[in-house]
């Protein structure tokens, strides 16, 4: 599942072709993705100007001139590609050829910019929904999400308060979208390694009795920001289905310190990176330097 850096990379790839331009024509080649598309889905998009393209956690949000918002989620295999007016998709340094099978091109936006934006999703776990901007606080997919880890509001104090009293593991707490929005298995493993904190540590240890942040919380907050920033700069991590809108592969996977490196030496202490299953997910860590 694409995590925050991958979704942010997609947002930045779509922005030049979408933001400020009108959707001249919207086409839905099927009635459903993960969920059924609304009956007026096409009608509510056609003729609308995309006034802004943002991201909330792992969701893309396109503000429309009508006052509606188009919410888009990539699911496990969803991707966008931008076809410019001349019909060419310019490959970049990390270009990876996409499948020529277009039967999975489910939604197309024909923009006044001259670009065609195509959503392709073989597994159909992605979805789209249009709703009024005035309902964004109550939208079920967004309601209850925690703070953005790269936002100004996110700091050690906020993380400590969210974890105070939690007896669950630190890793499980960070994967809880109500605690921090947008984090997934890859970047939680990497952030915990950089902060030298065990994924098995209790989440409550990020706060003292007054719910003030401990040094652990300070280190972890800094590590989360650092790893996410580096991953976005690298275009995300290309594991299985993820690639950028241009067809380029992200390459942050080449900078992984522990994720998917079971049996390899720890880059910090020389110990051995280990893997174990935690809450149904593979956790990668160095037991020697993560306490």
What residues are annotated to the active site?
Answer: 2-3, 58, 281
Q: Would you call 105 exposed, middle or buried from its count of C-beta atoms within 10 A (0-12, 13-18, 19+)?
A: middle
- Asked whether the beta carbons of 26 and 109 are under 8 A apart, the reply is yes
CA–CA distances in Å: residue 20 to residues 16, 130, 206, 277, 287: 8, 18, 43, 45, 50
82: closest CA among 92, 73, 69?
Answer: 92
What is the dihedral angle through the alpha carbons of 5, 9, 11, 12, rounded to the nearest 10 degrees?
130
Alpha-carbon radius of gyration of the chain: 20
Distance CA 129, CA 113 (A): 23
3-state secondary structure of 219: helix
3-state secondary structure of 19: coil
């Amino acid at each position: 599942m694409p995590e925050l850096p991958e979704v942010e990379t997609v947002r930045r790839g779509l922005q030049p072709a979408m933001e400020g331009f009108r959707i001249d024509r919207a086409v839905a080649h099927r009635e459903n993705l993960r969920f059924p598309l609304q009956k007026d889905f096409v009608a509510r998009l056609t003729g609308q100007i995309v006034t802004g393209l943002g991201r909330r956690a792992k969701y893309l949000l396109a503000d429309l001139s009508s006052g509606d918002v188009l919410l888009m989620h990539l699911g496990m295999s969803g991707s966008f590609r931008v076809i410019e007016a001349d019909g060419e998709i310019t490959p970049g340094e990390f270009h990876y050829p996409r499948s020529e099978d277009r039967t999975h091109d489910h939604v197309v936006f024909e923009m006044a910019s001259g670009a065609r934006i195509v959503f392709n999703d073989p597994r159909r776990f992605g979805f789209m929904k249009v709703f009024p901007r005035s309902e964004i606080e109550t939208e079920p997919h967004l309601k209850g999400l925690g703070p953005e880890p790269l936002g100004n509001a996110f700091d050690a104090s906020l993380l400590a308060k969210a974890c105070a009293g939690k007896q669950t593991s630190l890793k499980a707490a960070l994967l809880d979208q109500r605690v921090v929005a947008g984090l997934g298995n890859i970047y939680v493993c990497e952030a915990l390694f950089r902060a030298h904190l065990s994924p098995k540590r209790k989440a409550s240890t990020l706060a003292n009795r007054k719910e003030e942040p401990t040094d652990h919380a300070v280190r972890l907050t800094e590590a989360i920001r650092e790893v996410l920033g580096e991953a976005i700069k690298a275009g995300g991590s290309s594991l299985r289905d993820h690639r950028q809108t241009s067809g380029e592969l992200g390459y942050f996977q080449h900078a992984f310190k522990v994720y998917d490196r079971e049996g390899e030496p720890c880059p910090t202490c020389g110990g051995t990176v280990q893997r174990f299953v935690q809450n149904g997910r593979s956790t990668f860590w160095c037991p020697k330097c993560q306490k």
